[in-house]
Amino acid sequence: MKKLTLKIILTIFLALTTISCNKTKPQDSLKNIDEKNPAFTKSKLESEIDIKKTYCYLNEQSFKEDPTQKDILELNLDITGKNVEGFYNWKPAFKDQRKGTLRGTIENNVVTANYLFTQEGKEDSTSLKIVLNDKEAIIEGGQTALGLNATVTRTDCR
């Protein structure tokens, strides 16, 4: 009986030792799967698409009579893949401001977005088309009376 119990204990011990020595780290296991089946890996382009990029645009116009007073037009866009979020604000020195957020998509450097904004105490929304290039953003959309159309110069994000 003692020999049988000892054999069972030794067999279990050897089995556990063998199993524990053959284990791989979880990262190694995933790496092997990825290497064996490329469908589980992202291409370099797909990985770059997932990266969030921020673009900033700003126009500041100082008054000749008082250079400390400025009218400011700002546009910031966060682009992740084809999705775009950001804000578009018009902050004149002596008038009511317009501040709002936008959300949409981008294709071929053209953003199509819904713009939700507040101006003169009223909330409103409209569609915007924003054409991006290396130097500026050209904004079009909304009723002419809203004055949303503008060209804003690209700048470093602050």
What are the angstrom distances between the C-alpha of 149 and each of 14, 67, 81, 105, 141? Answer: 77, 25, 25, 19, 6
pLDDT of residue 34: 44
Q: Are residues 99 and 120 in the same domain?
A: yes
- Overall average pLDDT of the 98-103 stretch: 96
Q: Are residues 87 and 29 in the same domain?
A: no
Q: Are residues 25 and 88 in the same domain?
A: no
What is the tally of structural domains in the chain? 2
**CA-based torsion, 141, 146, 148, 149: positive or negative:** positive
- pLDDT band per the 50, 70, 90 thresholds, residue 26: very low
- pLDDT band per the 50, 70, 90 thresholds, residue 94: confident
Q: Are residues 69 and 126 in the same domain?
A: yes
Q: Are residues 126 and 146 in the same domain?
A: yes
Q: Are residues 34 and 77 in the same domain?
A: no
Residue 129 · residue 137 · CB < 8 Å? no
Residue 76 · residue 85 · CB < 8 Å? no
- Overall average pLDDT of the 127-134 stretch: 95
Q: Are residues 84 and 120 in the same domain?
A: yes
Q: Are residues 101 and 64 in the same domain?
A: yes
120 vs 101: CA distance, rounded Å: 16
Give residue 20's domain range: 2-41
150 vs 128: CA distance, rounded Å: 11
Q: Are residues 69 and 22 in the same domain?
A: no
Is the pTM higher than 0.85? The answer reads no
Q: Are residues 24 and 94 in the same domain?
A: no
